[in-house]
Chain A
Amino acid sequence: MTRIARGAPSVGEDTRPVTGRAALPRTLPLRVEAVRQLRRRRTLVAFGILLVLPWVLVGAFEIGGDPSSDGPGGRPSLVEVATASALNFALFALFVSVGFLLVVAVALFCGDTVASEANWSSLRYLLAAPVPRARLLRQKLIVAFAYATLAVVSLPLMSLLAGTVAFGWGDVRLPDVGAVVPSGEALGRMAIIVAYALVSQLVVAALAFLLSVTTDSPLGAVGGAVGLVIISNILDAVTALGSWRDILPTHWMFAWMDVLQPSIQWAGMAKGAALSFSYAVVLVALAFRRFQAKDIVS
């Protein structure tokens, strides 16, 4: 018996007992949850911004002209080599958005997912459908992570497209050193950068998810996660804290810049990835525990 048999009105009642876990249908399939989230204005606006931003940046460079090619000390920064090639442009776009825009996007997808259901009161009907609580969280987490990943990946991909149109495809000029990396190798490095950006956003995603489970207000969950990122950034600016800053969740957010050294530096990214993953795993576990013990009163 793979489905729970239900009686139709003309046939009369069904009296077969419902037995065992094996009888549980696959509730809240990923495709269903993805469709439920996809048609939301919030989703469309977030992706719209991420996909339009590269073109806005291209426009800005077209209007403002090439960035100064001679920075202080003769070392070009990331913005100064932004128009060198499509890959350079994508790196620049990532650099300007990873600290806040991508944080907001990730917090949006992960912070809104449960809290908005609570806000709409649809959560209680889903749970009574019944979708077991752990499964509901799991499915929502997977879909939210997938959307967040798509958001983080879509920006550099669109930047590559916009950059190719505007500045052409070519080798990458590294900032600071001015060394040139062939485009083939640079694509590999770009993949590392995007992968690290994703891992470093894990902590934001998990924090937003925990808040989403905790509060019935989507704005509170998203804003809370973004707010904590801001506070972490402010603390990170207090250099007097010294090595204490190493355990701040956002301290390593820009460690992917180490990929742009002539030889890739892994230490910072290893530390950042370990920290982000560890925070995330604990925060998600707290979310599951909290949600399973919670009385749903929304």
Chain B
Amino acid sequence: MAAAGVLVAGAVAGWRIGDDAPRPRAEPQRIQVVDGPKDDQHVTLDATFFPPVGGGRAPAILLAHGLGGSKDDTRAEAMELARAGYAVLTWSARGSGNSTGEIALDSPDYEVKDTRQLIDWLAHRPEVQLDRPGDPRVGMAGDSYGGGISLMTAAYDSRVDAIVPRITWYDLADAIFPGGVFKKLWAGILFANNENGRAPTPCGRFLPSLCAMYQKVAETGRPTDEAIRTLRRSSPSSVPGRIKVPTLLIQGQSDSLFPLDQADANARAVSGAPVSVVWFQGGHDGGDQETSRVRALTRDWFDRWLGHRGAGGGPPTGGRNQHVTSPAFTVTRTAGIDSSTQRPVVREATAGRYPGLSAPGRTIALAGREQTVQNPAGGTPASISALPGLGSLSALGDLGAGGLSSGLPRDVPGQTATFDTAPLTTSLQLTGAATVRVRVSGGPATLFAKLYDVPPDGRGGDGPDAGTPARALATPVRADGDTEITLPAMDYRFARGHRVRLVLSTTDMGFATPAQPASYQIAVTSGLTVPAVPGLHTPQQPPPWWTWALPVGAVLLALAIVAGRRRTPDSYDPALAEVPLVITGLTKAYGGGDDGQRAVDELSFRVEKGQVLGLLGPNGAGKTTTLRMLMGLIHPDAGEIRIFGHRVRPGAPVLARLGSFVEGPGFLPHLSGRDNLELYWRATGRALADAHMDEVLEIADLGTALDRPVRTYSHGMRQRLAIAQAMLGMPDLLVLDEPTNGLDPPQIREMREVLVRYGEAGRTVIVSSHLLAEVEQTCTHVVVMFRGQRVGGGPVAEVIGAEGRLEDAFLAIIAEGS
């Protein structure tokens, strides 16, 4: 328990120290900018500037928020970056938070012009490091809409030095109209940002032209050319070859709004600069957002490409920091559930090269006949792949939990064609976008392609509803005749014994599907081609340092505990080799120290060979304590006991020459008397032949009871067995404490004879008793104790002297002593 206390105290101290970091300062700013196609719109941006902790000039970072958010969303990350030594500017984009203007979806005419003027503003700050006059060293990062502005600003302003766009788009038109199918649920959520009806347009603080465009599209479910043109202008796809800065693309694996293929396209759009790609667990659909990992990766990227000033807040390094390395491709994977926290364990797998979505892999045969599927009139009921906002159910990721609980109807019978692989003989790691060729007749058909993971048994058996989505993602495709289908990009592990199921559905709740009823025949014409990236490996994480330090420390502590004990040294006096017992100045106090009551007080006496010594004294005289010290059970406070010249200490080998019976018998109740004696003798480690077992058992006189368990014995039987045990091996010194207790008169008489014979054979016996008549008849010598001290003693005849009876002599001695 003491050890636990030390651990607890240490942890408290560590925690206090760790909480002592300096707090960054936040300066609210109102920054005036001018934008619009004709540069005539005045907008006030609500911003916050965080000077670098540690002072001096530092690289700056622009942190942008997501759609519908404000500068407050990025405050926590801004503080972390400021603490890491960066100057950080957060702002509410036009049409957001307390800034004026309307949202223009990262348009080059509006938001991009605003951020360029923010860079101008940074260039005038004394805290910001400059590459040239008017050109600060600056990085940009942000999620979604904020990631889009990072990419667009990097394309339009060469002063940007590094960017970390997160969960964002390459082509907004393609993201909202994948394969020409309107992603109506997500679009509705984005444009329904109405701010409780106070917003100027029905769809929130958007530019009126954008709002009108959305309403028209939502009404028809079809993209207009103008919409495509407008969305594309806000996309990196409209600025080919113009993003030339180091770019870290972080995309979510739980993201049906901007799936992994958007990051893949962005990775190819960056020209002539390093690109790293990270697939993490989260995304717009929810899941584990891995906030601390994403922020750390972002910070590492800026440390590497903006020049790191070091954790101690030293002067900024002039160039780029090559000591920080980032792998080109990182995928986070759930490796299981931590049994102690019940939370998924997420590990990074990294590769030195980003392989894209169609890495070489293997092709697995798909079974399944041609199937007929119906497109229901009105497009309902629709199957469900992902539901915005419900994606957090997929926190278990590729543990097979899928995005949705089995309670929701996933696929509607009659609208879905399924094709299965055979059960996998080895586990299959899919990294990228699988492909398959299908033949669709009766088309053109809008189909939603998904992959399911079907376990070997249970959970719906082999029925059409078996299995769980590998990822809660569906890719819409327009299929007519022979068509190659690219499935949603993902990182997923199919376990051995499971089957991979290709699911093609005519409906999906997240999309606008044709309202006309139709019927198609679908057959697969190829196997499923599954890309794999074997180069991805998870670096072994060593267990925390304390898992080896703690046991080492514990062993050292244990050694200290055991070693910090004083030992009584061995001592042998050859002059006393023939003397069975010498007690000198023996003292023992109970209750501790000098204040304690002395049970034995400066006791000294000597027993010679052949004597039968009676140890006499009233109750509490210290007889038993003396005998226990004699057996090495109690540590004396002072003085010593020597048996045949050897000093007694616990476990001293000389105790083998002592047989003892003190304060009643001690047997294992479940064993017979014979087994007790045998096992006791074997515990001494001596040869059975030395035990004199037969002679001793004769003394015990137990007859057939010898083979009964001791727990069935009477008091007298145990007493006799215990005396027999004391005599095992015929020890040179026999100590018996009240040996005749519980014996009947004939047995007492017999016992007396045994003891006398024992002494006559040249051995020594010490008997403690209160039956003075007994002692008088048995003993040759007596020692009388009173209050722990020797108050009298000598040969029995001498002690009795003139009194005539030992009892009278004893009482006289006691009276003298008190």
Question: Are A and B subunits of one complex?
Answer: yes
Interface residues, chain A, with chain B CB atoms under 8 Å away? 3-4, 6-9, 12-15, 17-21, 23-29, 32-33, 35-36, 39-41, 69-70, 72-76, 120-135, 171, 173, 176-181, 244-247, 251-252, 254-258, 261-263, 265-268, 270-271, 273-275, 277-279, 281-286, 288-289, 292-293, 295-297
Contact of A75 among B400, B493, B561, B725 (CB under 8 A): B400
Assess the B559–A285 pair: CB atoms within 8 A. yes
Contact flags (1/0) for B651-662 with A, using CB distance below 8 Å? Answer: 111111110101
Assess the B656–A129 pair: CB atoms within 8 A. yes
Contact of B655 among A13, A39, A129, A135 (CB under 8 A): A129
**Most chain A beta carbons < 10 A, residue from B651, B664, B729:** B651
Interface residues, chain B, with chain A CB atoms under 8 Å away? 3-4, 7-8, 11, 335-340, 345, 396, 399-402, 405-406, 427, 455-460, 468, 493, 495-498, 541, 543-544, 546-548, 550-551, 553-555, 557-559, 561-562, 564-565, 572, 574, 577-578, 609, 628, 631-635, 644-646, 650-658, 660, 662-671, 679-680, 682-687, 690, 692, 695, 725, 729-732, 761-763
Assess the B459–A70 pair: CB atoms within 8 A. yes
Having A9-B761, A39-B671, A282-B3, one finds 5 other A-B pairs with CB under 8 Å, namely A35-B679, A73-B401, A127-B631, A177-B400, A268-B339
Q: Point out the residues of chain B lying under 8 angstroms from A128, CB to CB.
A: 631-633, 655, 658, 660
6 pairs from A and B in contact (CB 8 Å cutoff): A17-B577, A131-B684, A176-B337, A247-B7, A254-B340, A297-B633
Q: Point out the residues of chain B lying under 8 angstroms from A7, CB to CB.
A: 730, 732
Q: Point out the residues of chain B lying under 8 angstroms from A263, CB to CB.
A: 335-336
Q: Point out the residues of chain B lying under 8 angstroms from A261, CB to CB.
A: 335-337
The smallest C-beta distance from A219 to any residue of chain B, in angstroms, reads 15
Q: Point out the residues of chain A lying under 8 angstroms from B406, CB to CB.
A: 70, 73-74
Contact of B646 among A15, A18, A132 (CB under 8 A): A18
**Most chain A beta carbons < 10 A, residue from B3, B544, B685:** B685
The smallest C-beta distance from B102 to any residue of chain A, in angstroms, reads 43
Assess the A127–B632 pair: CB atoms within 8 A. yes
Assess the A69–B686 pair: CB atoms within 8 A. no
Contact of A19 among B572, B667, B669 (CB under 8 A): B572
Contact of B666 among A32, A123, A130, A177 (CB under 8 A): A123
Also in contact, A258 and B558, with CB within 8 A (given A125-B660, A247-B11): no
Assess the B400–A286 pair: CB atoms within 8 A. no
Assess the A278–B562 pair: CB atoms within 8 A. no
CA gap between A41 and B405 in the complex, in Å? 52
Assess the A293–B635 pair: CB atoms within 8 A. yes
Assess the B650–A133 pair: CB atoms within 8 A. yes
Assess the A74–B468 pair: CB atoms within 8 A. yes
CA gap between A39 and B671 in the complex, in Å? 8
CA gap between A261 and B338 in the complex, in Å? 9
Also in contact, A12 and B336, with CB within 8 A (given A122-B666, A125-B680, A179-B497): no
Which A residue sits closest to B650, measured CB to CB? Answer: A133
Contact of B554 among A129, A131, A278 (CB under 8 A): A278
Which B residue sits closest to A296, measured CB to CB? Answer: B633
Q: Point out the residues of chain B lying under 8 angstroms from A279, CB to CB.
A: 3-4, 554
CA gap between A13 and B764 in the complex, in Å? 10
Also in contact, A267 and B543, with CB within 8 A (given A278-B554, A297-B628): yes
CA gap between A246 and B11 in the complex, in Å? 11
CA gap between A68 and B264 in the complex, in Å? 43
CA gap between A279 and B666 in the complex, in Å? 33
Q: Point out the residues of chain A lying under 8 angstroms from B656, CB to CB.
A: 4, 6, 18, 25, 129-130
